DNA sequence: TACCCTAAGGAATAGGTTTTCTCTAGTAAG
DNA sequence: CTTACTAGAGAAAACCTATTCCTTAGGGTA
């Protein structure tokens, strides 16, 4: 690295340097760079040139100190940035980044002491607002912030029902699943889901039951099989369900993991999916849903939208137009082979769920001591 | 909300307010709060009391402006905070948080324009350093920062081989798998992995081959089956492998997803795992590895350690003790039933992979209007 | 009494930027 | 010729804190 020796001007150039270079005062330079005040075009150009030449970037700290706002927000999650908070975070970051707002991320690991500590830190940093996300939609105790710092809850909510919270539509997701089954002529539905102590599980079940009832179908809330959020429970639940209700022709699962387990057991028991039994999962967790055989139809909670919406509410609050109460973001159903015999029959022709077909690579000459074929495939796949 | 009307002092209290309240000058208040200078104990106590009473928290911006450093770093990922960058991020945040350093997270979505934009933002915010993470370990073009801002690459590396980079041990991971097989007496190994254009895939294969060769076994690099990172390829690859080498008794897979596909096909073909064929995955991605039947032995790259180590190197660089070149963080093998017949035979007695057995919840009366039967499973799982 | 020393705390400065106010010179109107 | 106004640019205040340098008062010593 050449720049180990900091050189004469390791200090980042300030507006003072720009002003000197352009032969104007500091105030004039500021006005020129920000398009303020009355200046000759020639002067503006000169300052701009100087700034470019020096690689000047205004010190956001100084600006924030003066303006009284930092154009930054804190994002607190209790979830170790798990599967649910990530998309929320991404959506929020997206919406905020467009407004030139930066995000401090804080992972409390569900530890109140850490939460306290992060909160103090964020307050010291004078963030303009706070987004709180979690992995469960159950109301949590309100986060204590000093007045003037707005808070929005995303994928969780406060016990204080007046505080703004953005939630996915678990209830509506359950309805989507039920209606999809009903539209396909399925009349013997089942439901295998997570623990009943999860509000999300109860809401999904509730929406499912309600939609079936509205259509004149029969499925009692008492028939819902609550268990845990695991493939193992999916396998077990499928055995229980088939045993209790051999004619079942449609199973809605509370998560894609459960659905994977169910799918596994159905195949073992000789039931064809979707022909004999249609299957719908929840979360649209692609590695899970696409990896299943056949790929899973699944309810997508649109968590990025949840995050984006939360960010928009926060921006509104920062601009003195706070919102109140819970807002629900609609879910959508992503239809794949596990629920649709027609898709299923076509699936043989398709090679990949995303992108064009590609032949598997075969072994070839070695490179670096390891055998490897020429990498003559296309480069769409990019997980690894 | 009571505090909609900001009230007389919506402004956060400053040290000036504290000083006034305590009846001292600003300088004295500062010294009292920071334990500097010569002050009477009584004075310090008075200032501390005033600060507590007012809920004073020093303005980090002002302090940073003065000190010339911000106690913040930028974390740039090209990976949309995917499966690999998350643990890295978590580890980094952990190590930095302990040093009271906050993290700005930036997701470039692999778009150079966004990267540029985030970089400018971070420079404007005068971060003390930068961590760059990616989803692939292939060298990438060096990120262009002004002098004085140290950079550490994590889970990726720079084309400039002198810049510090922390990588997982793909090669060593392959060796771990091979040695585990060999120690269990397996003599007919196979390997199914992702695309050969991925350096990680080649390194894993290389370590696997090398360890077998060292032990006097036979497995030619030409026998490695390169494909894609999907369950589907796992299924397909298993068919190919079994066809070409019917006596295979151990299969190492380049990812847990591939291993799931392989596991599926083996069962379909009537091979018992692990009795007939032992199976090892890669990534130790718990939802995948634990959900498999039987649960997968898998190589864990210890990505949190990668992140933590990267943060430590960055801290060193910030403190004028920069490091150079690539450092490899060891992987470890997490042994589960898929590779170990003895574990397998015991597994029936075990209920959960993590933590002690705990009595199942019993279905209580319904709650929230949805009826529910007993949820007789255990309650360790807390995703959902 | 004159001097020095110390303890305690105040004043001032720096850090980088934006904004408001002020100043100068030039121009147009009366 | 005087007045009023405008364009253009500089000077200074403000944001908040940490630190360095000063001031003051009091006590001790010669």
A77-100 tens-digit pLDDT: 987 767 888 899 889 988 998 778
Positions in chain B whose pLDDT score sits under 70: 1-10, 81, 344-384
A231 neighbourhood in chain B, CB within 8 Å: 290-293
Paired tokens of B71: 């106690």
DSSP state, residue A339: G
d(CA B299, CA B169): 10
Decide: helix, strand or coil at residue A227.
coil
pLDDT of the residue at A105:
87
pLDDT of the residue at B369:
32
Look at residues B111, B109, B106, B108 and name the one whose alpha carbon lies nearest to residue B127. Answer: B106
CB contact under 8 A, A148 and B12: yes
CB contact under 8 A, A65 and B65: yes
Look at residues A290, A233, A329 and name the one whose alpha carbon lies nearest to residue B351. Answer: A233
- Report the chain A residue with the minimal C-alpha distance to residue B148: A10
Residues contacting residue B295 through CB under 8 Å, at least 6 positions apart: B289, B336, B337, B338, B347, B353
B81 neighbourhood in chain A, CB within 8 Å: 81, 86, 89-90
B318: left (phi over 0), alpha (psi -120 to 50) or beta: alpha
Distance CA B16 to C1' D20 in A:
19
Q: How far is A65 from chain B (nearest CA, A)?
A: 6
Paired tokens of B50: 């005033």
d(CA B336, CA B125): 47
- Report the chain B residue with the minimal C-alpha distance to residue A207: B370
Query: How many other CB atoms are found less than 10 A from the CB of residue A350?
Result: 10
d(CA A131, CA B72): 19
CB contact under 8 A, B195 and A228: no
% pLDDT > 70, chain B: 86
B80 neighbourhood in chain A, CB within 8 Å: 90
CB contact under 8 A, A221 and B375: no
User: Dihedral, CA atoms, B98, B99, B105, B106, nearest 10 degrees?
Assistant: -140
The mean pLDDT value of chain A amounts to 86
Structure confidence by residue, pLDDT tens digits, B263-291:
999 999 999 999 999 999 999 999 999 99
Helix (H), strand (E) at residue A286: helix A286-291
Distance CA A367 to C1' D3 in A:
89
d(CA A205, CA A153): 24
CB contact under 8 A, A226 and B147: no
Query: Which positions of chain D lie under 7 Å from any protein Cβ?
Result: 7-21
- A333, A342 in Cβ contact below 8 A? no
Helix (H), strand (E) at residue B328: strand B326-329
Does position A53 have pLDDT exceeding 70, yes or no?
yes
Q: How far is A342 from chain B (nearest CA, A)?
A: 21
Segments in chain B forming alpha helices (H): 15-22, 26-34, 41-54, 60-67, 85-98, 112-124, 170-183, 199-214, 231-244, 256-268, 286-291, 303-318, 341-346
By Cβ distance, the residue of A81, A121, A220 closest to B102 is A121
Give the A:B interface size as CB pairs under 8 Å. 279
d(CA A7, CA A12): 12
- B328, B173 in Cβ contact below 8 A? no
Q: How far is A31 from chain B (nearest CA, A)?
A: 18
Residues contacting residue A104 through CB under 8 Å, at least 6 positions apart: A72, A73, A74, A75, A122, A125, A127, B72, B102, B103, B104, B105
A197 neighbourhood in chain B, CB within 8 Å: 361, 375, 379
d(CA B168, CA B158): 15
Distance CA B205 to C1' C25 in A:
80
Query: What residues pair up with A105 in beta bridges, in sequence order?
Result: A75
Which protein residue lies nearest to nucleotide D10, measured between its Cα and the C1' atom?
A: A25
B378 neighbourhood in chain A, CB within 8 Å: 228
Structure confidence by residue, pLDDT tens digits, A301-341:
999 999 999 999 999 999 889 999 999 999 999 999 999 98
d(CA A284, CA A295): 11
| Gyration radius of chain B's alpha carbons | 28
Does position A172 have pLDDT exceeding 90, yes or no?
yes
Q: Is B316 exposed, middle or buried (0-12, 13-18, 19+ CB in 10 A)?
A: middle
Task: Name which residue leads in pLDDT, A83 or A241.
Answer: A241
Distances (CA, A) of B82 to A89, B77, B136, B256: 12, 9, 11, 16
Decide: helix, strand or coil at residue A215.
coil
Paired tokens of B225: 């089956």
Structure confidence by residue, pLDDT tens digits, A252-295:
999 999 999 999 999 999 999 999 999 999 999 999 999 999 99
Cis status, amide bond into B322, omega within 30 of 0? no
A51: left (phi over 0), alpha (psi -120 to 50) or beta: alpha
In the block, tokens 């003599």 appear at B187
- Report the chain B residue with the minimal C-alpha distance to residue A108: B94
Structure confidence by residue, pLDDT tens digits, B89-135:
889 988 998 778 999 988 888 889 889 989 989 999 999 999 999 88
pLDDT of the residue at A369:
32
CB contact under 8 A, B370 and A198: no
* Strand D CB-contacts below 7 Å: A 23-28, 37-40, 42-43, 62, 65-66, 68; B 11-12, 14-16, 26-27, 30-31, 33-34, 36-37, 56, 58-59, 62-63, 65-67
Does position A7 have pLDDT exceeding 70, yes or no?
no
Segments in B245-302 forming alpha helices (H): 256-268, 286-291
- A337, A295 in Cβ contact below 8 A? yes
Query: Which positions of chain C lie under 7 Å from any protein Cβ?
Result: 7-12, 14-21
């Amino acid at each position: 690295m050449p720049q180990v020796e900091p050189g004469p001007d390791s200090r980042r150039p300030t507006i003072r340097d720009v002003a000197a270079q352009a032969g104007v005062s500091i105030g004039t330079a500021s006005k020129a760079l920000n398009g303020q005040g009355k200046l000759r075009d020639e002067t503006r150009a000169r300052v701009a040139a100087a700034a470019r030449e020096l690689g000047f970037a205004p010190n956001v700290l100084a600006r924030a100190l003066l303006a009284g706002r930092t154009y930054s927000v804190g994002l607190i999650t209790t979830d170790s940035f798990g599967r649910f908070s990530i998309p929320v975070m991404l959506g929020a970051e997206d919406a905020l980044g467009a407004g030139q707002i930066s995000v401090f991320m804080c992972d409390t690991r569900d530890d109140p002491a850490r939460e306290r500590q992060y909160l103090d830190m964020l307050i010291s940093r004078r963030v303009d607002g706070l987004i709180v996300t979690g992995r469960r939609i159950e109301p949590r105790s309100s986060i204590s912030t000093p007045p003037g710092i707005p808070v929005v809850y995303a994928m969780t909510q406060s016990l204080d029902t007046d505080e703004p919270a953005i939630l996915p539509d678990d209830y509506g997701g359950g309805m989507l699943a039920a209606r999809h089954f009903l539209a396909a002529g399925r009349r013997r539905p089942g439901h295998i889901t997570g623990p009943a102590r999860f509000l999300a599980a109860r809401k999904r079940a509730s929406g499912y039951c309600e939609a079936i009832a509205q259509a004149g179908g029969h499925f009692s809330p008492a028939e819902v099989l609550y268990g845990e959020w695991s493939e193992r429970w999916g396998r077990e639940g499928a055995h229980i369900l088939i045993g209790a209700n051999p004619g079942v022709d449609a199973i809605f699962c509370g998560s894609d993991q459960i659905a994977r387990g169910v799918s596994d057991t159905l195949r073992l028991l000789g039931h064809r999916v979707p022909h004999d039994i249609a299957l719908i999962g929840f979360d649209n967790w692609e590695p899970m849903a696409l990896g299943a055989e056949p790929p899973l139809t699944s309810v997508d909670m649109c968590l990025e939208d949840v995050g984006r919406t939360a960010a928009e509410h926060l921006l509104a609050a920062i601009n003195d137009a706070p919102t109140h109460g819970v807002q629900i973001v609609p879910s959508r159903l992503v239809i794949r082979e596990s629920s649709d015999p027609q898709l299923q029959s076509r699936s043989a022709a398709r090679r990949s769920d995303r992108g064009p077909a590609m032949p598997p690579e075969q072994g070839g000459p070695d490179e670096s001591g390891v055998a490897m074929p020429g990498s003559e495939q296309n480069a769409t796949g990019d997980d690894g």
